[in-house]
Amino acid sequence: MQYQVPQFIETEDTIIGSITLRQFIYLSVGGGIIMVAYLFLNFFLWLIFSAVIAAVTLAFAFFKYNGRPLEKVILSMFSYVWRPKIYVWKRKEELEAIRAEAAVKRGASLQNLWLRITAGKEIIAKREKFFPKSPEDEYDVLRKTTGEAEEVRRVDYR
């Protein structure tokens, strides 16, 4: 069975003669700006302003660089300028070794944090509050998650 494949998929549909919808919109907007400027500017300023607007409008409507319309070229340029540029090439084995090392460091830092929280003497802000010493603070009762008393130990709070 044979299928007919479209031949001209990159060509835009034309509206008036050989002008596409995109080109027609650019030319209409540029012409409208020039007409409004004619009402508000004196003739010499209007002539300079309309020449600049006409050049920009014609460039956006008809100019293509490497087969791409000018607005896509400008958008690509701005995205290239503003996006971060980090180009890293590493072999797969090196990358896996770096990831494993980072995981070990991450685990060690979490373990150190847990030890500081459970056995540290410094107060953790916004979680622990300082209470004055009382005789009951001499001993601390450790409890399981079920709430049963498991062990009693002496805690030095100095």
Q: Where are the domains of the chain?
A: 14-82
User: In this predicted structure, what is the pLDDT of residue 144?
Assistant: 45
The whole-model pTM stands at 0.49
- Residue 62 tokens read as 């008809």
- C-alpha–C-alpha distance, residues 77 and 79, integer Å: 6
Q: Can you say how many angstroms the Cα of residue 31 is from the centroid of all Cα atoms in its chain? A: 37
Q: For 31-46, how does the pLDDT look when each residue is reduced to its tens digit (9 = 90+)?
A: 999 999 999 999 999 9
User: In this predicted structure, what is the pLDDT of residue 40?
Assistant: 94
15 Cβ contact list (under 8 Å, min separation 6)? 21, 24
- C-alpha–C-alpha distance, residues 106 and 116, integer Å: 15
User: In this predicted structure, what is the pLDDT of residue 80?
Assistant: 87
User: In this predicted structure, what is the pLDDT of residue 12?
Assistant: 76
Stretches in the chain below the pLDDT threshold 50: 138-139, 141-148
* Buried residues in 69-102 as b, exposed as e (16+ CB within 10 A): bbeeeeeeeeeeeeeeeeeeeeeeeeeeeeeeee
